[in-house]
Structure 1
């Protein structure tokens, strides 16, 4: 992740900015209204286009249980979770996230808020939780979070063995192999093309460590825009793979003997449009005190954060030593084994950093809840003026004992 720039997803289409809903978009017959449940599953309701104005005003009825991890873990929501089958919430489309679906020219999609009634957010709505947290950061410290996501996934092909269908990796190449890109170039090119038509910035694409594994790196944006880009990018990747007769999976641990897949998050802080994570002069770790305290709060609460960013048992099969996947409780400078690492992109002096990366974040989390847990932890670090311990550079047993790394 090289920079901290803002980008946009889709086109702004707030109803108040137009005389009609059709001024910004060519009418299409159907609209997908998307929400993400607590296990990261993308769900939707589809409505005829002519009902959009009504649904924008009144919403669609939905059981609170639809936010629970139905079918992912159990069809019975946990007792006391307030996510049961009693009661009703409304999903209200957020037209500022609306975009045409490139592979379905007769459809468009939009993200949705969850409300008790129109203009009254449901307290468990992930997007509302995220908005509350970012408002706290803005109100108390005049800070805005900018985010960039890396999306790791496997491309699988269908193979019939002994009369049964199996899904196997599309290739057996290694990290950044040109052969791996050649095998899947048509799929990857379509993915990038579709994302670009949706105004989602792609910084780079490459083969990852696992067989048939790839990574798409999205551009930096303000956090809410970055999450929308992440959600839509996953939709694009899955759909393009299906068009090519393949299957894309983001599962944290696809195979026992292969590397896992994550959605690593790169985070910076800005004030009045200026990156304030990086130090302006001499500093202890190349970051400002604001950046250090925010990151120290995240490190301090990291074990609790995992409950929101690594929510599936397979998440913990992914977070193991010697796989560059955050098995230790520490931070490092350009240390890919550390769960938190600071980075100095090209064009920035080696002694300075302009953002940090958190590794323990995968597709089995709701990205709004996951990022909210990170931000509020950073807020706690700012409130308490926390400091970071020494960075860890190596993970031998001797070094772990010296730095008291668990």
Structure 2
């Protein structure tokens, strides 16, 4: 919904709002917030709110100056799990320097630029997501354990599926924030759940992902449980991914709507655009060492491949005749900064369309059990954080589309993380300590 600053201030006054949470993500997608009393909101709209970015590694070690938060009035939302008297609202913010220029690491601005770039070429992307996460029990002293909330499997029903009421609570909370889940289910792993979302514009889809993660963790905590988006919390069980579906409008037409059972040339070229750049951008889609424990295991994608029908490939592009057909990308996980992830995917699609990239042949067979000779012909995704860092560093595409100091900082931090991971003998312990309690 569109709001003016005046309408927001009126809403705050009329709805007994006492506190405002100014939310923003660091360059790695970690959610941060600062709270203000509602009487200060008008001043913050005009002047911004200063914070010390030097204390946060995710703000590129900015030390010469403070940064400022400017709330986006269109992102107004009540937090339903907070008290109904003295209510709390949140806004997502644009991060700027004191001179008014946008901070290079502001993901929302990066995504806005990608959206504008696509529109200038005549394209408008709509994005849907499917998000997987695990739920674990807490100990008596409220610490997270690795005891799954249940031992149900894919699409099992209650009472085996103990997550049914939790997912219901999550979905109802999201709806109160004008975020509309499409479906929910138990996934393959014990205590693993999935919630799918309706299509929306790219910026809203990214905002919704950030909100979703916050809601899941808050609702789970309220129920005495611990939710994690760690890609591989249980080494011998399925990992948790973030499946991204992109469909693209050109005027009033979805270019991925099949024509006589075939993709249009533009749709094929956009698909090729993602395949051609997927190794370059994997670091932005899968940003932790745990991400690569997931990829290539238990049906998570390993190869740079696509298919119309085979669900196990990296990309699936259905030709079922539905108007909402699109590209379904299965490799990302929720360690990504969704603003950079969706933005760079849009740039890859547009590059493919503009250059008329040729789409390779589909892989319509299961790679599980395929012969070495067959598999040797398929290109692989990066198999480690090390490989992903190198591919990103060598990528002309990323250097073209991302601010150089932003990309350099991401590469430096992730190279150090990969080095630390490689030097650790107990990889499972490293992943648990580094990621389980934070993601």
Identify the TM-score tier after normalising by the shorter chain. 0.7 to 0.9
Does residue 26 in structure 1 map to residue 15 in structure 2?
yes
Determine which structure has the larger helix proportion and give its number: 2
Aligned mates of 1:164, 1:228 — CA distance in 2: 29
- For residues 48-78 of structure 1, give each alpha carbon's deviation from its aligned partner in whole angstroms, at most 9, with x where no partner exists: 1111111112112234456644xxxxxxx8x
User: 1:253: how far off?
Assistant: 1.0
Name which of structure 1's ranges 335-344 and 292-301 shifts more when overlaid on structure 2. Answer: 335-344
The answer to whether the Cα contact below 8 Å between 2:136 and 2:144 also exists between their aligned partners in 1 is no
Aligned mates of 1:83, 1:357 — CA distance in 2: 35
- For residues 157-208 of structure 1, give each alpha carbon's deviation from its aligned partner in whole angstroms, at most 9, with x where no partner exists: 11369x9973411011111111367422221211111111122111111000
- For residues 330-361 of structure 1, give each alpha carbon's deviation from its aligned partner in whole angstroms, at most 9, with x where no partner exists: 1112222211111356xx36xx9820111122
Aligned mates of 1:180, 1:45 — CA distance in 2: 40
Equivalent of residue 110 in structure 1, options 85, 91, 108: 91
Tell me which residue corresponds to 2:35: 46
Aligned mates of 2:137, 2:77 — CA distance in 1: 29
Name which of structure 1's ranges 111-120 and 356-365 shifts more when overlaid on structure 2. Answer: 111-120
Tell me which residue corresponds to 2:306: 331
Tell me which residue corresponds to 1:361: 332
Q: Summarize the Cα distance change of 1:132–1:290 in structure 2 as closer, same or farther, 3 Å threshold.
A: same
* Backbone CA RMSD of aligned residues: 2.5
User: 1:36: how far off?
Assistant: 1.5
Greater relative contact order, per chain length (Cα 8 Å cut-off, separation 6+): 1
Equivalent of residue 220 in structure 1, options 185, 191, 199: 199
Aligned mates of 1:157, 1:272 — CA distance in 2: 49
Aligned mates of 1:298, 1:66 — CA distance in 2: 36
- For residues 84-140 of structure 1, give each alpha carbon's deviation from its aligned partner in whole angstroms, at most 9, with x where no partner exists: 33322211111101100011132111111111247532232111111111111111x
TM-score, normalised via structure 1 length: 0.85
Does residue 312 in structure 1 map to residue 288 in structure 2?
yes
Does residue 135 in structure 1 map to residue 125 in structure 2?
no
TM-score, normalised via structure 2 length: 0.79
Tell me which residue corresponds to 1:5: none
Tell me which residue corresponds to 1:7: none
Tell me which residue corresponds to 2:374: 400
Structure 2 unmatched runs, 5+: 381-439
User: 1:405: how far off?
Assistant: 4.0
Q: How does 1:4-403 map to 2 (within 5 A)?
A: 11-15=1-5, 18=7, 20-22=9-11, 26-65=15-54, 68-69=57-58, 82-104=60-82, 105=84, 106-117=87-98, 119-139=100-120, 141-159=121-139, 166-179=145-158, 182-279=161-258, 281-282=259-260, 286-321=262-297, 323-344=298-319, 348=321, 354-394=325-365, 395=367, 396-397=370-371, 400-401=374-375, 403=377
